[in-house]
Amino acid sequence: MHQKLSTKEKYSYAIAGFGQNIIITFTTTFMLVYLYETVGFSKKGIASITAIITAAKIWDAINDFFMGAIIDQTRSKWGKLRPYILFTALPIALLTILLFSVPRTIELYKLIYFGVIYILWGMVYTVADVPFWGLSGVITTDSNERVSLIAITRTLQTIGLAITTLLTPYLVDWLKFSTGSKLVGWTISSILLSLFGMGLFILAFFNTKEKISFQGKYSSLSQTFKAIINNFPLLLILLASALSFGRNIIQVGGAVVASIVFGDEKIFTILGGSLILSLIFSNLLTPFVLKFISRKQLMIYSNLISAFIYCIMYLVGYSNLILFIILLFFSGFFSGFFIVVLTAMIADSVDYYEYKTNTRNEGISFAGLTFISKLMGALATMAFGAVIVAIGYSSGIQVTTKIKTGVFFSITILPAISCIIGTIPLFFYPLTDNKVNQISKELEDRRKSTSE
């Protein structure tokens, strides 16, 4: 008999995800437009920023596995996941503020400052993010409850994404006050959003409990790293996600796209609103849809239909803004299913590995989730940055039709190709829904007999 997930735990965890997503959305969505349009960099500076961000994200992605291994070796009265959530909230808030406080100096010093702060920010964020998602696999042992928990968390995260995306441009304008400087507006906005977001994030520590007290054998450090290689279902789902990185291009470059293609970065508020609304709908609908088709099928349909829509977007073009917004809504709708089911399937792979080996590795497995998330961001940033450099865009340059078409290509055709390729590993994913339920029941019986 599994320990039921309480309403307090469910919504505290989800609200913590809401707070966390305020920080990550503010950073990933507006960092480039802050650097390109407000701080201002030359073509070489933009190329350097692209290299710094890409390298930092890859480094952070590697760090995820080290963090996962550390988690799987952790013992404390609070569990092995929750302590990291408590002790990282304040450092993340402070580093986010510093990230949006680039000093007024020569370009070389700006690049050095940004590089150091951004790398530190990513490393500390890793220490918080891996255990947060790992917690979703241990505060309930029921697979269906996990889907519901992840769905409501992803929904509130998407609402956090919406609020941050839609209101930040106006907040920055308002907070620049009489100085007329957006630099001031960005810094003050970062202070308010960081403290509020991390204040909510620590609810995941105070109002939850780790319900799986593992009684089997714990892995050595080397065995922990081998676990991710030997977990075939986990490898497949991570590979499928990585190859589908194109979905992230609109997020990392959306504000820049709005500025270049549509002539006003605030149009991203409309584009983001359409995308976010679609994600909210699909996140909430995921548990219902899974009553009729399997998780594997939903992942495959999500990728293939999204790819088709991206191709239609490119053919329609950017001259008809309303039609583009409608198509963007549907692309986001089908992407939302992918996001929820991905997290649930990783939790299933943790159970699968315990079932096969009597070894449980939430840390290293959910490090895979955050690793892939950052790798997707790195690949998306690299692809978008490569397009920006290739078309010759820089701050203050006259925007031509060639530049607009090149940027538009990066958010339509590139994601379509990515989603099609990302579908291939999913056909080989072995865990059916019936198998997952069978494994869950077997593990419950094992834990019950061990506790007796």
**Scanning the structure block, which residue is given the tokens 């495959």?**
300
Helix, coil or strand: residue 217: strand
Helix, coil or strand: residue 80: coil
User: Residue 14, exposed/middle/buried by CB under 10 A (0-12, 13-18, 19+)?
Assistant: buried
Q: What angle (nearest 5°) sits at the alpha carbon of residue 244, between those of residues 241 and 246?
A: 140
Q: Give the mean model confidence (pLDDT) for residues 220-242.
A: 82
What is the residue-averaged pLDDT of the chain? 86
CA count, 13 A, side-chain hemisphere, 101:
12
| Per-residue pLDDT band at 2 (split at 50, 70, 90) | low
Do residues 361 and 72 touch, judged by C-beta distance below 8 A?
A: yes
Q: Give the mean model confidence (pLDDT) for residues 357-364.
A: 79
Query: Lowest mean pLDDT: which of 13-17, 228-232, 336-340, 409-413?
Result: 228-232
Whether 216 shows a pLDDT value over 60: the answer reads no
Read off the pLDDT of residues 168-199 as tens digits, 9 standing for 90 and up.
888 988 888 666 678 888 999 999 999 999 99
Q: Supply the pLDDT for residue 39.
A: 80
CA 66 remoteness from chain centre: 19
Whether 84 shows a pLDDT value over 90: the answer reads yes
Q: Which range is most confident: 33-37, 47-51, 217-221, 418-422?
A: 418-422
Q: Which domain holds residue 309?
A: 9-208+217-442
Q: Give the mean model confidence (pLDDT) for residues 90-114.
A: 91
**Nearest Cα to Cα of residue 411 among 340, 335, 350, 360:** 335
- How far apart, in whole angstroms, are the C-alpha atoms of residue 166 and residue 258? 13
**CA separation, residue 39 to residues 33, 111, 266 (Å):** 9, 11, 18
**CA separation, residue 205 to residues 71, 74, 424 (Å):** 15, 16, 38
CATH number, domain of 266, equals 1.20.1250.20
- How far apart, in whole angstroms, are the C-alpha atoms of residue 365 and residue 353? 10
Q: Say what the pTM is.
A: 0.73
- Residue 2 covered by a domain: no
| Per-residue pLDDT band at 20 (split at 50, 70, 90) | very high
Cβ-based neighbours of 124, under 8 Å, separated by 6 or more: 88, 91, 92, 95
The conformational region for residue 79 under phi > 0 = left, psi -120 to 50 = alpha, else beta, is: left
Q: Give the mean model confidence (pLDDT) for residues 124-138.
A: 89
Q: For residue 185, what are its two tokens? A: 């507006």
Do residues 6 and 449 touch, judged by C-beta distance below 8 A?
A: no
Cβ-based neighbours of 422, under 8 Å, separated by 6 or more: 240, 241, 242, 243, 244, 245, 303
- Residue 3 covered by a domain: no
Whether 218 shows a pLDDT value over 70: the answer reads no
Whether 220 shows a pLDDT value over 90: the answer reads no
| Per-residue pLDDT band at 98 (split at 50, 70, 90) | very high
Whether 294 shows a pLDDT value over 70: the answer reads yes
Selected residue with higher pLDDT from 367 and 285: 285
Do residues 377 and 278 touch, judged by C-beta distance below 8 A?
A: no
Residue 217 β-bridge partners = 359
Q: How many domains does the chain have?
A: 1
- Residue 452 covered by a domain: no
- How far apart, in whole angstroms, are the C-alpha atoms of residue 89 and residue 68? 18
388: DSSP letter: H
Q: Supply the pLDDT for residue 178.
A: 61
Determine the residue type at 242: A
| Per-residue pLDDT band at 3 (split at 50, 70, 90) | low
- Residue 449 covered by a domain: no
| Per-residue pLDDT band at 86 (split at 50, 70, 90) | very high
Q: Supply the pLDDT for residue 224.
A: 66
Read off the pLDDT of residues 308-347 as tens digits, 9 standing for 90 and up.
999 999 998 888 888 989 999 999 999 889 988 998 898 8
Do residues 346 and 363 touch, judged by C-beta distance below 8 A?
A: no
- Residue 108 covered by a domain: yes
Whether 395 shows a pLDDT value over 80: the answer reads no
